[in-house]
A and B are shown apart, each in its own frame.
Chain A
Amino acid sequence: MARATILALLVSGALLAQAPPPRPEQLTFKPLAFEVPRAADFKAKLKNGIPVYVAADPAGVPFVRLRVFIRGGSFLEPRGKEGLASLTGMQMRAGGTAMTPAAALDERLEFLAGDIDSNIGDTSGAVAMEFMEKDLKEGLDLFMQVLTRPAFAQDRLDQAKENLLQGLQARNDKTDGIAKVELPRLLNGEDHFSSAQMTGASLKAITREDLAAFHARLLHPENLVVSVSGRFKKEAMLDLLNRTLGALKPGAAAQVSPRVPAPSFRRRPGIYVVDKDVPQSLVRFALPGLRRTDPDWHAAQVMNQILGGSGFTSRLMKKIRSDEGLTYGIGTGFSDGAHWKGNWSGSVQTKNRSVAYVLRLALAELERIKAQPVPPEELAVIKDSIVQAFPSQWGKKANVVNLFAQEQLTGWPENGWAGYREKIQAVTAEDVQRAARKYLDPAQLVILVVGKAGEAEAGDGKDHPGALKDVAPLPLTRLPLRDPLTLKPLS
């Protein structure tokens, strides 16, 4: 074709485009190249060994965002002090610092329109800051105070405890508040740290000295990983960080955090019901899963997306929401098993009398994906969707460095995402069926129902008869509601 013709086509194409094809499948698209970001390209080390992931964007918006990830969490709490980790995290920022009292810190941060946030969870914590580029020096100084010299002011601690106590009293107000207490006990046992929960007594027992000691223990360079992004030059930022975070030495009380302990609990599969007077039950269910490094991981992911992990396109949603109108939503997923084998779990809410029927429909879908190979078109849709959406999951560079830092902290392999799309694309219908048979064993199910127990247990008498106890060959147990402050069962 002559050059002039091509040019003419391009011009008319730009002005008029072509007539729309009758079906969207007939559209053609330019290829979209995307290379997986590599952790090594962002990584540096401070002089004391702290790994840091840096994304400089000198032409971007004039912010600097820094996040120090901390290895350690509630799994390190002594018995009787449940809540210590989260209180320590909260009060690092809220309680002021040795040089800047809490009220002055509040005022200064809000005046600068900057932010410092600190929190500690089950297995890790983070202290993060966000400042305008022009305020970097002052912001980083305040940040280092919060990280290394928190004052844990007594009056702020008292206030926080009062606030938390109010929150504890609200524990049974919502169905998911109840599920949050019961589910870890059913999955990991009462003795595992993941089941440990703050009580009125443990909250009362926590002192300012406990917070200071917990903080001192965690503040060890080997427990820290850093991410930083925003408008700066990489070398200048590394220099600044080396003079601040890089100068951090372990204090006398600092300890390298040990490995997170896995539960050693023998699960008792069954249907568990907590009675709560609401018109709609919350249903949670779980099965033993796998770790992200398991060779089955990619097949399991695809299997889950087909079954319940991809919204309207997954089978459970089609059946239970679109066909039957029984719920606003149902979804399932594998947790990645950061510290021990994770779970495959799901959640659905439906009016009390529909609970049994919804579970029967869901269990039938579990059996179907085990019994019948997934049709080629359905498999292709799910695999394409994971592969095509992969670039958008990385987002901006700030997200990328945060992801790499979090993964380093957890201990995942550094190049874990290389080849991910290829491995997903290689999953076959047989792989899906094999994963389904391996991971969807209904005899291992733990099902938790929080709702009006009598109605949920009776089922939908007229339209879809069948009692909850007959949903699966599993024992049905009523669990008592717990006192929200003591967590002791109420009779």
Chain B
Amino acid sequence: MFRTPGRVAAAALCTLAPLSAQDIPVTERTLPNGMRVLMVERHDEPTISCGWVARVGSADERPGITGIAHLFEHMMFKGTKVIGTRDAKRDAELNALQDRTVGEIRKELDTLREKARRGEIADINDPGARSPRHQQLLAELDKLVQEQRGLIVKDELDKVYKQAGATGLNANTTSDRTFYHIDVPANKLELWAWLEADRLKNAVFREFYSERDVVLEERRLRVEATPTGKVQETFNALIWQAHPYSWPVIGWPSDITTVTRDQADNFFSTYYAPNNITAIIVGDFKTEEAFATLQTYFGGIPSRTTLAPRVTTLEPPQGAEQRLVATANAMPMVQVTHKTVPSVHKDAAALDVLSSILNGQSGRLNLELVVRKRVAVNAGAGNRGMKFGGIFYLGGVPAPGHTPEEVEGLLLQEVERIQKEGVTGQELQKVKNQVQASTYARMENNADLRDQLAEAEGAGSYRDFLEEPARLNAVTREDVQRVAKAYFGPESRNTMVIRRKEAK
């Protein structure tokens, strides 16, 4: 769901200079409907890594429909007017009937919600609290679902791709963008264009209501059944006071269970316009032929004249430093965060370099906290730049006999040292050597390159990715010291301490 900070930092450490300029030959085109196309042609493997990214994520939601961007990602695998059904007409009727029944069920839920508000029932999802009419509506819905199931060609999108030898069909959603991707054999680019254009033009959100249950299971898997999932979620909500980054990408459970197909339709038509999407292909094709194919398929999707609304909420400065203390069935740990800047901000590169100097076996945090003082068993830092903001975090796990608070003090001390004394030329050179190596590493793998281009398009432009090595190479010792002074004040700080829950 979120990029892991470690990977972002690694991906950021790339350069064009000084060994020899390694330009990544991206061909960029824009279709008349506004859809952007990026192509990188190369012939070392007989496959093409394909994907498209829509500039929409959980930051575009609001309370009441949190999780819809991600739920939507699931719905995009449920087929179209052509794919996934034996009888498109009856299928559409059944969807309408289901929606009507769900509308009635929502009224029943409103009643239960009111009872819960008054404390008359404990849980609106308790089957025992349902009225006979509510039970009857659920039975009716089940009948409609059963009838529709008879017409559905199960997961036909996956089947068509699989039979063609495509691999890795998947998608993922972050706060800022939604990304759909797959790798196809080199001779199957047209199949990809056919199926993806079809689901952009003709998507049908069937099995909508059972898919909400799948998402709830996904939520249990990722959050509720993990030792620190809910603590992390609470911490995130603490960090972001006003900005939509405060809610989890997967959404709050009560929103996931009440979202309707109408709301999903609305969301789709607002954000899934071709002029809000970039398609990316990397691999074994001829650029002009490939572009003609993409134009044939994606060019026919009508563009939308009204642009998707922009996120306008700016995170205000915190009124106070905040602290979360939790117990969990987990290793004790501490995480100190400071709000920083978006990934495309001019200070992002210096913050990335700062995190690299703190990180690694020979980095300051490991040397000082783990090797010399032996107060922590591990310690690290990361700069996570997102579209509208960023977080720099410092974290560590205390060694036996030491507390998270001791680790916290030492983490902050290392930043203070850099604020006062700056960093050494050797440290900066080390980072730049790593930048040089990643200049090559970042373009080795077709799928990785596609993913990085998509990530950059989600937050700005692929050019930000191409220019990142140059930006990192331009960072000076003064820059690193300046950002260390600028972003690490207590007014943007939030700290999470986790202690192990005592066994009963």
Contacts and interface: CB of A to CB of B under 8 A. Distances in A.
B262 interface: no
Contacts of B190: 27, 29
Determine which residue in A25, A166, A318 has the highest number of CB atoms from chain B within 10 A of its CB, and name it.
A166
Contact of B45 (A63, A162, A395): A395
A172 B500 CA distance: 12
Interface residues on B, range: 35 or more
A110 B224 contact: no
Contact of B127 (A107, A134, A324, A462): A462
A391 B218 contact: no
Contacts of A114: 437
Contacts of A25: 160
A326 to B, nearest CB: 7
A343 to B, nearest CB: 23
Contact of A280 (B45, B220, B438): B220
Contacts of B155: 312-313, 317-318, 322
Contacts of A109: 361-362
Interface string B184-198: 011110110011011
A478 to B, nearest CB: 18
Interface string B363-377: 100010011001001
Contacts of A396: 44-45, 444-445
Given A20-B194, A29-B187, A159 B165 contact: no
B360 interface: yes
The residue in B44, B83, B162, B438 that gathers the most chain A C-beta atoms within 10 A of its C-beta is B162
A326 B212 CA distance: 10
B210 A323 contact: yes
B207 A159 contact: no
Q: Which secondary structure characterizes the binding site on chain B?
A: helix
Interface residues of A, number: 82
Contacts of B293: 17
Contact of B225 (A23, A175, A323): A175
A304 to B, nearest CB: 14
A38 interface: no
A286 to B, nearest CB: 21
A61 B444 contact: yes
Contact of A174 (B165, B188, B227, B445): B227
A418 interface: no
Contact of A279 (B225, B378, B434): B225
B292 A351 contact: no
Contacts of A5: none
B437 A132 contact: yes
Contacts of A6: none
A28 to B, nearest CB: 9
Contact of B188 (A29, A111, A162, A169): A29
A261 B188 CA distance: 46
A262 interface: no
B214 A327 contact: yes
Interface string A375-390: 0000011101101111
B271 interface: no
A103 B436 CA distance: 23
Given A321-B214, A325-B214, A385 B191 contact: no
B317 interface: no
A381 B214 contact: no
B213 A326 contact: yes
A162 B434 CA distance: 30
A454 B214 CA distance: 23
A20 B296 contact: yes
Given A16-B296, A30-B187, A112-B433, A22 B82 contact: yes
A173 B165 contact: no
Contacts of A162: 374, 377, 399-400
B236 interface: no
Contacts of A13: 292
B279 to A, nearest CB: 16
B413 interface: no
Given A24-B191, A328-B218, A322 B163 contact: no
B330 interface: yes
Contacts of A392: 45-47, 165, 167, 183, 185
B41 interface: no
Nearest to A22: B82
A170 B224 contact: no
Given A111-B430, A388-B165, A350 B217 contact: yes
Contacts of B374: 159, 162
Contacts of A323: 149, 154, 210
A385 B162 contact: yes
B77 A280 contact: no
Interface string A284-327: 00000000000000000000000000111100011001111111
B441 interface: yes
Interface in A236-294: 278-280
B226 interface: yes
A15 interface: yes
A17 B154 contact: no
A256 B289 CA distance: 56
Given A15-B292, A32-B186, A174-B227, 13 more contacts: A22-B82, A25-B160, A29-B191, A31-B187, A60-B44, A103-B362, A114-B437, A162-B377, A172-B329, A279-B220, A325-B213, A326-B217, A389-B166
Interface of A: 13-25, 27, 29-32, 34, 60-63, 103, 106-107, 109-114, 132, 134, 159, 162-163, 165-167, 169-170, 172-175, 278-280, 310-313, 317-318, 321-328, 349-351, 380-382, 384-385, 387-393, 395-396, 462-463
Q: Which 9 residue pairs are nearest across A and B when measured between Cβ atoms? A: A388-B165, A325-B213, A113-B437, A312-B158, A325-B210, A106-B361, A312-B155, A280-B220, A385-B162
7 contacts: A25-B160, A27-B190, A113-B433, A113-B434, A166-B397, A278-B225, A392-B167
